[in-house]
């Protein structure tokens, strides 16, 4: 898409609706509700990710209606359309999970296609599940037309703070004999009480918070319950905000600066966010043509403390954080400490500092967000590792509760299913380093999340006694001594594919290293005799994805945005 500012300052929709030759276009639009007056208005798309596929998105049709109302009342003409979503939580641990990260690209492509084809002057995008959120942002960056993201909102917790991760961990408890079948059924029946995204600081809430910190959603959009008046108002305001952005000619390229991405990383770290934020922020930055790489997370993480007591490493839900003020008081603390760039422009046309100027601090008696001088961890829980197992980098999630280093004996598996079975049947024991490979972007294909194995580890009581490395990735709900995104991945000959059972592996968060403790000569010998496995049977989109996708260290994107 063109980044020419002068071109963007005129209405894209005029090409579609102005002039005698566009009478056929106007005739078609009249049938979907356009009046004579509407043809002189800015056309604003509403990209809805509504579906009944998942509770994360089951309510977004009503939110889209509110956004459309806000657009129309502000003087624009709203046009609603849909894109897909898939559910990570439902497909987790199955072959269907291979389509999860793929769906991010499909969503970005589909929004770009509709907005560009129909000549919309701007758009609102509403997302509620892990991949449709970065997919929406990638489309915004790519199109560079005035746009605002709306988060669908978080789910309410079930009894005893239950959520989807509670169910996964209860499955591990059944295998360990500590949870009965009846208790598992009770957790299953009560963990998901209604609409909204998974309730901890998992990937959806992480990305919602990061997107607000980027400036691409309105203040507080990330910290609202899915079913609430606040969320409905947020959607209406977002519709009006897009019309304002069109009138002021403020585009994503004015908002998505290098400093804005640094703000997003800072907030994600302080909140104890998902490692998926690394993958998605790099992908969004590539679409925005902003240089961002793994080492930026290390540089920023050296100065930003982990402050939250939110799940999965803590005990509280996002809904409980909302009750004490959401993420804005945290952002105000970070800004006052010089850890945020206050001069970054945001989607309401104001700067970050202006938006936070009047924000009050948290109540004194809360323990969800720690003060800066008493952090959970003095630096980032997201640790970028390098070494002879990850010469191009790997991403670890280490809060310090697990310790800061682990040395153990490798047990290797060629797929998630093999690894999960070994955990459930007791093959994996204390002191092991579980190695699941051939699950990377190309090798999977699709880079599946490993929530089922990590939750089973915790459920079996091994959370602090084993480590786990993979060229796949982890759900935001995973916790423990876990390292993902190992690059190069096994399918392209990466060293993770050369590990053998019994090898000693050391993970060290302080030195930021991931090493197999054998000689370079032995590794070279193994590399000479390594043969890639036969690819899984692939058809359609998985084949296309495997051919096009970049490495995880480059965001696992499929577009050529160098």
8 A C-beta contact, residue 436 and residue 413: yes
Kindly state the tokens that stand for 13: 């929709």
Burial class (CB in 10 A: 0-12, 13-18, 19+), 163: buried
CA 62 → CA 156, 199, 262, 504, distances in Å? 18, 20, 33, 54
Whole-number Å distance between alpha carbons of 113 and 172: 43
Residues 6+ apart with CB under 8 A from 247: none
Whole-number Å distance between alpha carbons of 34 and 21: 18
8 A C-beta contact, residue 223 and residue 321: yes
Active site residues: 475
8 A C-beta contact, residue 410 and residue 501: yes
Whole-number Å distance between alpha carbons of 508 and 510: 6
432-436 vs 390-397, strand pairing mode: unpaired
Whole-number Å distance between alpha carbons of 552 and 344: 28
8 A C-beta contact, residue 538 and residue 86: no
CA 402 → CA 28, 200, 335, 405, 476, distances in Å? 61, 19, 30, 8, 16
Whole-number Å distance between alpha carbons of 155 and 206: 14
122-127 vs 43-48, strand pairing mode: parallel
| Residue written as token pair 């699950």 | 439
| Residue written as token pair 């059924």 | 185
8 A C-beta contact, residue 348 and residue 254: no
């Amino acid at each position: 898409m063109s980044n020419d500012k002068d071109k963007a300052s005129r209405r894209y929709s005029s090409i579609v609706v102005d002039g005698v030759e566009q009478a056929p276009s106007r005739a078609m639009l009249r049938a979907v509700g356009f009046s004579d007056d509407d043809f002189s208005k800015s056309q604003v798309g509403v990209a809805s990710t509504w579906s009944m596929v998942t509770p994360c998105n089951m309510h977004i049709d009503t939110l889209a209606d509110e956004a459309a109302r806000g657009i129309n009342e502000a003087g624009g003409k709203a046009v609603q359309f849909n894109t897909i979503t898939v559910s990570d939580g439902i497909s987790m641990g199955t072959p269907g999970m291979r389509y999860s990260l793929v769906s991010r690209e499909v969503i970005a492509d589909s929004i770009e296609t509709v907005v560009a084809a129909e000549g919309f002057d701007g758009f609102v995008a509403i997302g509620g599940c892990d991949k449709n959120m970065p997919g929406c942002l990638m489309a915004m960056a790519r199109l560079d037309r005035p746009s605002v993201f709306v988060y669908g909102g978080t789910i309410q917790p079930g009894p005893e703070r239950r959520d989807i991760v509670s169910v996964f961990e209860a499955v591990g408890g059944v295998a360990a004999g500590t949870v009965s079948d009846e208790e598992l059924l009770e957790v299953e029946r009560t963990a998901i009480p209604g609409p909204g995204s998974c309730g901890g600081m998992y990937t959806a809430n992480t990305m919602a918070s990061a997107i607000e910190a980027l400036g691409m959603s309105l203040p507080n959009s990330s910290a609202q319950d899915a079913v609430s008046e606040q969320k409905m108002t947020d959607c209406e305001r977002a519709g009006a905000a897009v019309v304002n952005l069109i009138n002021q000619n403020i585009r994503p390229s004015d908002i998505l600066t290098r400093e804005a991405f640094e703000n997003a990383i800072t907030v994600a770290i302080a909140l104890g966010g998902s490692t998926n934020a690394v993958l998605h922020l790099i992908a969004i930055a590539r679409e925005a043509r902003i240089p961002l790489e793994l080492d930026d997370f290390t540089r920023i993480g050296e100065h930003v403390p982990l402050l939250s007591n939110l799940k999965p490493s803590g005990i509280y839900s996002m809904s409980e954080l909302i009750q004490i003020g959401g993420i804005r008081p945290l952002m105000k603390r970070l800004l006052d400490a010089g850890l945020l760039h206050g001069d970054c422009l945001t989607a309401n046309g104001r700067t970050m500092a202006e938006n936070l100027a009047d924000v009050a601090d948290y109540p004194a008696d809360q323990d969800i967000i720690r003060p800066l001088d008493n952090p959970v961890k003095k630096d980032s829980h997201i640790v970028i590792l390098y070494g002879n197992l990850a010469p191009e980098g790997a991403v670890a999630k280490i809060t310090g509760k697990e310790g800061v280093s682990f040395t153990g004996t490798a047990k290797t598996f060629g797929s998630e299913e093999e690894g999960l079975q070994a955990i459930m049947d007791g093959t994996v024991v204390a002191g092991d380093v579980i190695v699941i490979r051939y699950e990377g972007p190309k090798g999977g294909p699709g880079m599946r999340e490993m929530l089922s194995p990590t939750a089973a580890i915790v459920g079996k009581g091994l959370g602090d006694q084993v480590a786990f490395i993979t060229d796949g990735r982890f759900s935001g709900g995973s916790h423990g001594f876990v390292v993902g995104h190992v690059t190069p991945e096994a399918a392209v000959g990466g060293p993770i594919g050369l590990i053998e059972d019994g090898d000693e592996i050391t993970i060290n968060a302080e030195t930021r290293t991931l090493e197999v403790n054998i000689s370079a000569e032995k590794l070279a010998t193994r590399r000479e005799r390594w043969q890639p496995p036969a690819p899984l049977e692939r058809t359609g989109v998985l084949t296309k994805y495997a051919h096009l996708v970049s490495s995880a260290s480059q965001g696992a994107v499929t577009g050529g945005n160098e």
